[in-house]
Amino acid sequence: QVQVVESGGGLVQPGGSLRLSCAASGSTIRFYSMGWYRQAPGKQRELVAGISNFGIPNYADSVKGRFTISRDNAKNTVFLQMSSLKPEDTAVYYCNRLVNTWNWGQGTQVTVSS
């Protein structure tokens, strides 16, 4: 059974930065497009960044220019570098495949507040 574990969240002031990591076990990510999603209280889960198996990224308009997604296939890990964070980025962040998702992990909480 595939398991994904997200980490790196925390409390940060507006304008700050965080780097999230997602480690997958039970399957290789090498062949899959992967994504970072987030879910804010009372809202649906949304895709914020994706990266193809060839390493081509794409971003939601709300995070473009502030977030950078990357992957290390050798370590079976996906990263999300977040900069210039805003209070509206507050959410639980998850990673998963872009298509035919695996079971969702616990996510990592990101709180942007002064």
pLDDT tens-digit map of 45-80: 999 999 999 999 999 999 999 999 999 999 999 999
Q: What percent of the chain clears pLDDT 70, i.e. is strictly above it?
A: 100
Task: Return the C-alpha torsion angle 31, 39, 14, 65, nearest 10.
Answer: 40
The pLDDT of residue 67 = 98
Asked if 107 and 8 count as a contact pair (C-beta separation under 8 A), the reply is no
The pLDDT of residue 1 = 86
The pLDDT of residue 114 = 95
pLDDT at residue 108 tops 90: yes
The pLDDT of residue 19 = 98
